Amino acid sequence: MNLPKILVAGALAAFALASQAAFPDKPIRIVVAFAPGSSTDVVARSLAQNLTVAFGQPVVVDNRPGAGGNIATVQVAKAAPDGYTLLVHSVAYAINPSMFGSAGYQVGDLAAVAMAGVAPNMLYVHPDVKAGNLKELTALMKKGGMSYASSGNGTTTQLGAELLFRNLLQVDVTHVPFQPAAAANAVVSGQVPIGSTSMPPVVQLARAGKVRPIAVTSLKRSPALPEVPTVAELGHPGFEANTWIALFAPAGTPTEVLDRLNTEINKVLLYKTLTENFAALSLDVVRMDRPQLTSYVAAEAAKWGGVVRRIGVKVD
């Protein structure tokens, strides 16, 4: 046996353990890619509150909205890779490098830390639209002249609808982009007959009969509206177009620090108060280890990047 090598290996292992145990020894800043009050912001604040207790150090939220989340992403990508600056972003993190002429980053510029939650999008119609299911809606759309409201250009609410309508259903429908809440209101008012948005603005409207749900875009039905079928159930196996929220850190952050963050975040994701906050957003808590999240984000970037290129969505 080579005693010097064993001693060096032991010393390195001890150093890694000591570094992990010491982290964090000062406040952690969570940069949020969107404005206060957004789903991403609510998730970040719920995590920060619980992580402050778990770490025994302040975890503060810093909203840096703008450019579809690119401003916050670039800022975090340039931060010191020490685990004290994190990014909370949505699925837009994986989409933007394909959609923007210059997003300022590539997906690999940040390290995956932890998944937080996943929410399906929903396809729905105004009550006067004479379609109670996807088959009937498809027949109406094939007659032409239909339009749909989404939560904005380049969102999964648009890209998922385009994938469904144009690729799978072979129908031509005009896209009308709105802000998320405004898209739902446009359908309620009858301004646009079809909606494709995230679930939070729609759940109460559906329960009140102000819109008629057609399908959700997750592989499993949503607990928020369990009676609404999935697109996959309705003849399109594997169809999925979710909105997710996850945490990232600058590339080069030490593995032991990233692992500690992942472990603690996955613990607090089990807290009842946090899961209740997420449920109010129609978000299901999803726990992943870092390799799982890295692979998932890469797959999402490839999937939505292909849709962006196919339909020609670009933001300069």
- Euclidean distance between CA atoms 173 and 147, whole angstroms: 5
User: How does pLDDT run across 248-273, given as a tens digit for each residue?
Assistant: 999 999 999 999 999 999 999 999 99
Instruction: Tell the burial category of 5 from Cβ atoms under 10 Å away from its Cβ (0-12, 13-18, 19+).
Output: exposed
Phi/psi of residue 250, each to 5°? -55, 140
pLDDT score of 3: 52
Characterize the bridge pairing of strands 28-32 and 59-63: parallel
Q: Out of 10-19, 93-102, 199-208, 235-244, pick the least confident.
A: 10-19
- Euclidean distance between CA atoms 236 and 9, whole angstroms: 53
Nearest residue to 171 (alpha-carbon basis) of 206, 203, 205, 147: 147
Decide if pLDDT at 14 tops 70.
no
Nearest residue to 108 (alpha-carbon basis) of 308, 298, 299: 298
pLDDT score of 101: 83
Rg of the chain over all Cα atoms, to the nearest angstrom: 21
pLDDT, average across residues 158-181:
92
Most distant pair of Cα atoms in the chain: their distance = 80
**pLDDT range class, residue 181, cuts 50, 70, 90:** confident
| 128 residue type, one letter | D
Which DSSP string corresponds to 39-88?
Answer: HHHHHHHHHHHHHHHHHTS-EEEEE---GGGHHHHHHHHTS-SSSSEEEE
Mean pLDDT value across the chain? 91
User: Which residue(s) pair with 253 in the sheet?
Assistant: none
Prediction pTM value? 0.87
Decide if pLDDT at 1 tops 70.
no
pLDDT, average across residues 224-237:
95
User: How does pLDDT run across 43-57, given as a tens digit for each residue?
Assistant: 999 999 999 999 999
User: How does pLDDT run across 129-159, given as a tens digit for each residue?
Assistant: 999 999 999 999 999 999 999 988 889 999 9
pLDDT score of 5: 52
pLDDT score of 96: 95
Helices vs strands, H then E, count in the chain:
11, 10
Instruction: Tell the burial category of 159 from Cβ atoms under 10 Å away from its Cβ (0-12, 13-18, 19+).
Output: buried
